Amino acid sequence: MLKKLLIPIGIVALLAFGSIALAGVPCTGTSTVVATENSSPCPAGGAFCPKGDYNTITVTVTVNDCYGTALAGKSVAVKTAGAATLKFQAADSTKTLTTNISGQVVATYAKIGGCGNMAFTAICQGVTLGPSNSLYCANVDNNGSGKCDGTDLSIFAGHYGRTDKPCSDFNCSGKVDGTDLSIFAGHFGHQF
C-alpha cells in the first residue's frame, strides 16, 4: 500500500521540481529575435555603407523563460548570421548586452559591407535564440572589402540599367539608375 502511494507522490514531486528547473532559464519557444532596418525605403532590408552613415539595423531580443516571464539582468550575445559576402566592422559582428527589466536588449548595426541576406541569433546562458527574420542588404561596398572603392564602382557600372541586380538598387526602385548612382557617389571612399 505504501509503495502504491509513494509512486504517485514521486511523480508529482518530479514534475514540480522539473517545472521549477525551467523557471529562469531562457526558452526558445517564448523568446524572440526581431531585426528591422531603420531608414531605407526597402520593405525587407536596406542599403548600407561601411562607414555606417547611411542606414542602421536594430535587433531587439526578448528573453523569457518557458512560462513567458521576462528574464532581467541576463547577458546576451547578439550575433550576425549573413551571406558569406557580408562583412561587419570587427566590433560589430557580436554585441554582448545585458537584458533590461523587460528581458530585452537592443543591438544596432550600421557599419556593414557586402551584399546579401542577413539574420541574427542571440545566445543567452548557452541557449541559442532565433534566428531573426531575414533582411536583404544592398551596399555601396558591393564586394564586402570594407571600403567603397574603384572595384565597387566597376561592379556598380556593370549593374547600371539592370532590374536584376538588387545589390546596387539602393533605393529599392526595382532598377539600378541615376538615383542609385547619386547615392553611390555620396559614399565613394567610405570605409570601416
Average pLDDT, the chain: 88
Arithmetic mean of pLDDT, 110-128: 94
Task: Classify residue 103: in a domain, yes or no.
Answer: yes
Computed from CA positions of residues 184, 186, 187, 188, in that sequence, does the dihedral angle turn out positive or negative? Answer: positive
User: Is residue 153 exposed (0-12), middle (13-18) or buried (19+ Cβ within 10 Å)?
Assistant: middle
- With the C-alpha atoms ordered 95, 190, 84, 31, is the resulting torsion angle positive or negative? positive
The CATH number that applies at residue 157 is 2.60.40.10
Q: Which segment, 3-17, 23-37, 81-95, is predicted with the most confidence on average?
A: 23-37
Structure confidence at residue 7 (pLDDT): 54
- 52: cell is 555606417
Counting every residue, how long is the chain?
192
Q: Is residue 5 part of a domain?
A: no
Q: Compute φ and ψ for 8, nearest 5 degrees.
A: -60, -35
Domain assignment present for 59: yes
Q: Rounded to the nearest 5°, which phi and psi values hold at 168?
A: -110, 5
Give every CB contact of residue 167 below 8 A, 6+ residues apart in sequence: 115, 116, 138, 139, 142, 155, 159
**pTM (2 decimals)?**
0.85
**Does the bond joining 50 to the residue before it have cis omega, within 30 degrees of 0?**
no
82 contacts 132 by C-beta, under 8 angstroms: no
Please indicate, yes or no, if residue 177 is contained in any of the structural domains. yes
What pLDDT, on a 0 to 100 scale, did the predictor assign at position 4? 57
Residue 17 covered by a domain: no
Segments forming the whole domain that contains residue 54:
25-187
Has residue 35 been placed in a domain? yes
Q: Residues 144-192: pLDDT tens digits?
A: 999 999 999 999 999 999 999 999 999 989 999 999 999 999 999 999 9
Q: How far is CA 6 from CA 10, 17, 18, 145, 155, in A?
A: 6, 16, 18, 67, 74
Strands (E), the chain: 32-37, 45-48, 57-62, 75-82, 87-88, 94-98, 104-109, 112-113, 116-124, 127-129, 135-139
pLDDT per residue as tens digits for the range 34-73: 999 987 777 778 899 999 999 999 999 999 999 999 999 9
- If one counts the domains in the chain, the total is 1
Predicted confidence band at 14 (pLDDT cuts at 50, 70, 90)? very low
